[in-house]
Amino acid sequence: MPKPHIPLEVLKAQVAACQACPLAAGRTQTVFGDGNPDARVLFIGEAPGKNEDLQGLPFVGKAGQNLNQLLEIAGLTREEVFIANVLKCRPPGNRDPRPEEIELCTPFLREQTRTINPEFIVTLGNFATKFVLKTEVGITRLHGTLQQAGRFKVFPIYHPAAAIYDRTKWLALENDFATLGELLRR
């Protein structure tokens, strides 16, 4: 028999209580993710930054402003999608997530994904892409190409923070979000 889906409120409470790795000691609060629980599109970022840790919400800092602009290009609003991260706690100084942190934290993301059951998963950057596609192929090669993981359509895109100092990446992001909009209208 298939495992029953865990309601998002239950998962959120489990995340808030998590002490599985040392990131718990440094957090202001966990960042579970936010948006429509029945979303057609699930966006997965890397980990909370300073602003996200303070507000308890994903993508509310500079990368979030970029993401908001890009969502518009795809014809999407934040209210209709769900936005989550690979890690639910902020790594100190925004360093990269460590393999053991990803291993301990991603059971939450896996359950979130099962419960939301989106049609599309948009992976933002290398960490989300590697986790969802189980690949060593980098985002530079994969971005803007439609992939499949189990029953999910997966669309890898550069992380919106990558564009903060790199105009070329911003153009690629605009292009990929326009493609995402087309895929959603098909």
Using CB under 6 A, list all residues that contact ligand URA. 45-49, 52, 58-59, 63, 85, 161
Shortest Cβ 109–ligand URA spacing (Å) = 12
Q: Which one, 63 or 121, has the nearer CB to ligand URA?
A: 63
**Tokens encoding 158:** 């550069």
Q: Which one, 5 or 62, has the nearer CB to ligand URA?
A: 62
Shortest Cβ 94–ligand URA spacing (Å) = 8
Shortest Cβ 50–ligand URA spacing (Å) = 9
Q: Which one, 38 or 96, has the nearer CB to ligand URA?
A: 96
Q: Which one, 46 or 176, has the nearer CB to ligand URA?
A: 46
**Tokens encoding 120:** 């599309």
Shortest Cβ 63–ligand URA spacing (Å) = 4
Q: Which one, 58 or 144, has the nearer CB to ligand URA?
A: 58
Q: Which residue is nearest to ligand URA (CB)?
A: 45
Shortest Cβ 124–ligand URA spacing (Å) = 6
Q: In degrees, to the nearest 5, what angle opens at C-alpha 67 toward C-alphas 118 and 130?
A: 55
Q: In degrees, to the nearest 5, what angle opens at C-alpha 169 toward C-alphas 166 and 171?
A: 115
CA distances from 92 to 20, 53, 128 (A): 16, 11, 19
Q: Which one, 79 or 186, has the nearer CB to ligand URA?
A: 79
**Strand order of the sheet with strand 152-157?**
34-35, 82-85, 41-45, 120-124, 152-157, 147-149
Pairing mode of beta strands 120-124, 147-149: unpaired
Q: Which residue has the tokens 């993301």?
A: 109
Rounded to an integer, what distance in angstroms lies between the CA atom of residue 83 and that of residue 70?
Answer: 14
Rounded to an integer, what distance in angstroms lies between the CA atom of residue 186 and that of residue 183?
Answer: 5
Shortest Cβ 167–ligand URA spacing (Å) = 20
